[in-house]
Amino acid sequence: ASFQRIKQTDDQLKAFLTLNEEQAKQKAKQLDEQGSLQGERGLLFGLPIAVKDNIVTEHVTTTAGSKMLENYDPIYNATVMDRICASESILIGKTNMDEFGMGGSTENSAFQVTVNPWNKEYVPGGSSGGSAAAVAARQAFFALGSDTGGSIRQPAAYCGVVGLKPTYGLVSRFGLISYASSLDTIGPITKNVEDAAYLLSVLAAHDPYDSTSADVDVPDYISALNGNVKGLKVGVPKELLGEGVDQEIKDKIQQALKTLEGMGAIVEEVSLPHTEYAVPTYYILGPSEASSNLARYDGVRFGMRSESGNDLIQMYKETRSQGFGAEVKRRIMLGTYALSSGYYDAYYKKAQQVRTLIKQDFDELFANYDVLIGPTTPTTAYKIGEKVADPLKMYLNDICTAPVNLAGIPAISVPCGLTNDGLPVGLQIMGKHFDESTVLRVAHAFE
Ligand code: GLN
């Protein structure tokens, strides 16, 4: 059914970069005939999953949306893919994304522009735009995305689905093609909160292959969905409902908060005073880490190699000039500048210090509140092409999501109605480190 649906819709939608049809059908047949292949049925037995193309899949082309990796055929699986396979979910294909996760509209893919299933003139968001569109258009049962500054939650909001960014360290990054390693996370994009809880149960685990993987007990996320929010303390950061946020979005969030109050939650206005510095901080640290991570694409070790250079240095230059798109080059230059001697203290070090202040804002609030709630994005999806010429406008769109990555905390985006234009609005619930259970419980109470 998934492949049928993809055939009907993907010419227009363009959510997938690679389909895994033959292997998927073979696996489905096997499961059908033999039942479980491992004694007991896996938690996601037989469910078709779409996976963002920056998650490495053994012998299934993995491009990260870049020409640099156009023909990259990985010889291993990301840890999350091993876990997905063990759960007996079936990989149906790899989804479109902004090159290396750099963008918020999927327009920075080197291959194609995915459209928003609600209105094909609009972007699906990004960088996990292919995954969010595939779930919204019912091409896949659910999907994996990655989130460095909002790339799971923002496309989920724009496409009217659920997107969960886990606590940094809860889900292994082994086999996730790096953008900014201190911020990168993998998480579920699903139709509803219950599916997100199931998928997270499979993803969350300590992994010795990832040195930043946390060795913590993984709670039962499914039984956390008990509908009870009585007495729950909810903070509403005023900075996330301020200037620059569409009035229609503010109204929807206020309405949702009323509903929550009606269910017995205690809702209070709070402050995250360093919010205005989150976007500049993110756009120093993200590009700095990217400039280092992307040094590996030199035409020797991975992916494409330009044939035009006639010595080693020339080969490096040509490969990187031809292989990277404009946004990736912009960030490599920004990051290289911010890390260079003479500027390091003024930019990189300063940004690290501000990151600590942003994290402290959250820590202080979480001493008194169970969750924080606000919008996922300041605006709904915008028209394709509207912001491509103005990167700064794109960057400012990350104001509600980037602080969460800087602090390393979990957050979910859940659908919160449609605007008069018929575009989805996302509500964001942020929680304490490793307290995905509460985040999911509150999100579930809205459904
Ligand atoms: N939109 C943000 C950016 O352009 C976030 C990307 C992400 O989370 N991968 O960097």
pLDDT confidence band for 3 (50 / 70 / 90): very high
Ligand 1 centroid vs 101 CA: distance in angstroms? Answer: 6
The single-letter DSSP state of residue 270 is E
Return the best residue to mutate from 53, 54, 109, 127 for the ligand 1 pocket (most ligand atoms within 8 A of CB): 127
Q: State the closest ligand 1 atom to the C-alpha of 103, by its place in the atom list counted from 1.
A: 4
User: Dihedral angle at the C-alpha atoms of 339, 340, 345, 346, nearest 10 degrees?
Assistant: -90
* Active-site pick, 2, 87, 127, 172: 127
> What region, left, alpha or beta, does residue 280 occupy, with left being phi > 0 and alpha being psi -120 to 50 degrees?
alpha
125 touches ligand 1 (CB under 6 Å):
no
Contacts of 6 (CB under 8 A, 6+ apart): 16, 19, 92, 93, 139
Residue 178 is given by DSSP the state P
Rounded to whole angstroms, the Cα distance separating 171 from 396 reads 27
Q: Is it true that the peptide bond before 127 is cis, omega within 30 degrees of 0?
A: yes
Closest by CA position to 110, among listed 155, 158, 69: 69
pLDDT score of 2 more than 80: yes
pTM of structure: 0.98
Q: With contact defined as beta carbons under 8 Å apart, do 205 and 166 qualify?
A: no
User: Any catalytic annotation for residue 52?
Assistant: yes
292 is an active site residue? no
Whole-angstrom distance, CA of residue 401 vs CA of residue 128: 14
| Residue 401 alpha carbon to ligand 1 centre in Å | 9
State which ligand 1 atom lies nearest to the alpha carbon of 183: 8
Dihedral angle computed from the Cα positions of residues 149, 379, 327 and 113, in that order, rounded to the nearest 10 degrees: 110
DSSP 213-258: ----PPP-TTTT-----TT-EEEEEGGGGSTTS-HHHHHHHHHHHH
Q: What is the rounded distance in angstroms from the CA atom of residue 364 to the CA atom of residue 374?
A: 17
pLDDT tens for residues 209-268? Answer: 999 999 999 999 999 999 999 999 999 999 999 999 999 999 999 999 999 999 999 999
- Give yes or no for residue 37 having a pLDDT over 80: no
Respond yes or no on whether ipTM tops 0.85.
Answer: yes
- Cβ of 178 closer than 6 Å to ligand 1, yes or no, is no
Domains of the chain with bracketed CATH: 1-447 (3.90.1300.10)
Q: Report residue 88's pLDDT band, with 50, 70 and 90 as the boundaries.
A: very high
Q: Which of 209, 146, 175 is nearest to 74 (CA)?
A: 175
Candidates 151, 172, 178, 291; catalytic one? 151
Task: Give the integer Cα–Cα distance in Å for 329 and 231.
Answer: 49
Residue 432 catalytic?
no
Residue 309 in this model has a pLDDT that exceeds 80? no
